[in-house]
């Protein structure tokens, strides 16, 4: 159960996402078309209490000028999951080529074709890192996923609260200086696919 609240502020539109998953109430805040700036998860104890808390949040935000849609929404707005430049323009190893900043997300994009029909480029027999670089300009957004893909990516691959980078490091980086030193090859890609398959099965079981 996902609800969206919006409020126009000058040239931007502020967005609040509220989602109930069992007893958990998740809240995300940001601006339309940009990464969410903050998010939190509250365990309300049971689904009934989570619903009460949800209605409380909605009332508070509406009092602050936010508008709630008349229907519950199941699809997602445009959201940026990752950008290669976030990596190579920050604490990036100087000895590496910037293409190495594309590998971890490129592998993830390559795995997506296992369970969803997204855009045509994922069905081509093309290196996923090259796709991320040349066809997506190093920007991974919600445009590249369907609804199930969005929910899993938002749950598992979020860089602040998700587990993808932890699994990536544990499986591929034990003897490497950083995640950016992982080589783009079939062996490493298969390792990523194996643990992503496992995490996705976990996610579907709990959802």
- Reported as a single tens digit per residue, the pLDDT across 34-59 is 656 677 888 999 989 999 999 999 99
In the predicted model, what is the mean pLDDT of the chain? 83
Domain termination residue (choose one: 47, 68, 89): 68
pLDDT at 160: 67
Q: Kindly state the DSSP code that residue 99 receives in the 8-state scheme.
A: G
Look up the domain containing 41 and give its range. Answer: 2-68
Please tell me whether residues 19 and 84 are part of one structural domain. Answer: no
Residues 6+ apart with CB under 8 A from 6: 13, 14, 15, 16, 32, 66, 67
- At 115 the pLDDT is 55
Q: Is the pLDDT of residue 183 over 80?
A: yes
Rounded to whole angstroms, the Cα distance separating 6 from 36 reads 13
Residue 10 has pLDDT above 50, yes or no: yes
What pTM does this model have? 0.64
Do 57 and 95 sit in the same domain of this protein? no
Q: Assess whether pLDDT exceeds 50 at residue 116.
A: yes
Asked if residue 131 lies in contact with residue 144, where contact means CB atoms within 8 angstroms, the answer is no
């Amino acid at each position: 159960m996902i609800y969206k609240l919006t409020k126009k502020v000058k040239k931007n539109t502020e967005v609040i996402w509220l989602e109930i998953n069992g007893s958990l109430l998740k809240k995300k805040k940001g601006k339309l078309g940009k990464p969410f700036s903050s998010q939190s998860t509250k365990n309300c104890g049971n689904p009934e209490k989570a619903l009460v808390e949800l209605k409380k949040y909605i009332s508070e935000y509406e009092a602050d000028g936010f508008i709630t849609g008349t229907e519950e929404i199941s699809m997602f707005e445009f959201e940026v999951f990752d950008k290669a430049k976030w990596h190579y323009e920050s604490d990036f190893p100087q000895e590496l080529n910037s293409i190495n900043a594309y590998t971890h997300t490129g592998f993830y994009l390559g795995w997506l074709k296992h369970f969803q029909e997204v855009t045509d480029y994922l069905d081509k027999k093309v290196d996923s890192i090259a796709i991320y670089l040349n066809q997506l300009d190093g920007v991974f957004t919600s445009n590249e996923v369907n609804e199930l893909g969005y929910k899993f990516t938002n749950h598992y691959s979020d860089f602040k609260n998700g587990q993808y980078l932890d699994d990536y490091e544990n499986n591929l980086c034990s003897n490497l200086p950083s995640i950016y030193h992982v080589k783009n090859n079939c062996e490493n890609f298969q390792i990523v696919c194996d643990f992503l398959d496992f995490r996705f099965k976990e996610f579907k079981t709990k959802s």
